[in-house]
Structures are given as C-alpha cells and as structure tokens.
Amino acid sequence: MMEVQVTCSQCGSSIEVVPDVHAHKINCDVCGHVQDIKFTTDHEAGILKECPVCSRMDFYKQKDFNRKIGVILFVVAAILSIWTYGLSLVVLYLFDLFLFRKLSMVAICYKCRTNFRKVMNIADIRDFDHEMNDRIVYSDHDFKGKPLSH
C-alpha cells in the first residue's frame, strides 16, 4: 500500500495517510487543521498520476534516506572498524548501496511537497529539475505531468 505524507498547510507538521477513496478530509493531529484530500483507485493501487492534495501531476523522485538511521549506522560501523580493520565500513557501504539506493525512493509533489512512498510507477517519475521547481513554486506554472521542453 502506498504511504502518503502530507504537510499540514497550517502548521507544517506531517500527516501520514494511506490512500482511501472514501476519505475526503484529513486532520492534523498537532493543530487540528482539516484539509481536503482526493484519492482515486489509482492511488489505492499505488499508482501516482495526480496529487491527492493539490491535484497537480508534477512529481520528482529522490532517495529516501533516513538521515538519523544513517548517522547511527555510520557511528556503529566506525567504532566496529577498530576491531574489524575497517571491514564494517565496507559492509555499511554495501548495505547502503544495495538496500537504501534500490528500495527506498520517495516521490514528491513539486507544488505542495506531499511525499509518496511505495509508489508502483516510481520508474515513470523523473528526477528533481530545478527549472521546473522554480516555475511551479514561483510562477505557479502547471506542467500537467509533462517533462520540461525548450
């Protein structure tokens, strides 16, 4: 099931939701703000085409690296490397390479910064584009899911 992390438009807290076509509103646990949300059967199937929050179709993907866990793992590996002659750092590197890079990708809506995890069609979503980001954020341009063309 796709995991959706919405940013509260009122206080900026993150609200975790799973797609449900019958859910039309989400509540912020922190400030109580209620936001509209529009899930489709695509979302329920883990397919991301339209943002359930702002209904835009422009997303980018990036590695979903949990910084906190990364730092802890690195410290543990660095301490262990005293006894393992650096082998634990090699193990950590391989672990990062195979596990984090392959499995954890997150899709993010340019417009409202909603995060989507476990997206089935993640391969269709492009990498972050600075120009697209600037045009969406600052001039409110709508690319409708099309890549930037010159």
Q: How far is the CB of 93 from Zn ion (least distance, A)?
A: 35
Nearer to Zn ion, 31 or 72 (CB): 31
CA-to-CA distance for 69 and 100, rounded, in angstroms? 11
Task: Please say whether the dihedral angle defined by the alpha carbons of residues 19, 130, 146 and 121, taken in this order, is positive or negative.
Answer: negative
Nearer to Zn ion, 32 or 86 (CB): 32
CA angle 79, 105, 91 (to 5 degrees): 25
Are residues 81 and 134 in contact, defined by beta-carbon separation less than 8 angstroms? Answer: no
Nearer to Zn ion, 49 or 101 (CB): 49
In the region spanning residues 16 to 55, those forming contacts with Zn ion, defined by CB under 5 A, are: 28, 30-31, 33, 51, 53-54
Q: How far is the CB of 7 from Zn ion (least distance, A)?
A: 9
CA-to-CA distance for 107 and 127, rounded, in angstroms? 9
How many CA atoms, within 13 angstroms, populate the side-chain half-sphere of residue 148? 14
Count interface residues toward Zn ion (CB under 5 A).
15
Q: Is 76 in the site for Zn ion (CB under 5 A)?
A: no
Q: Which residues bind Zn ion (CB under 5 A)?
A: 8, 10-11, 13, 28, 30-31, 33, 51, 53-54, 109, 111-112, 114
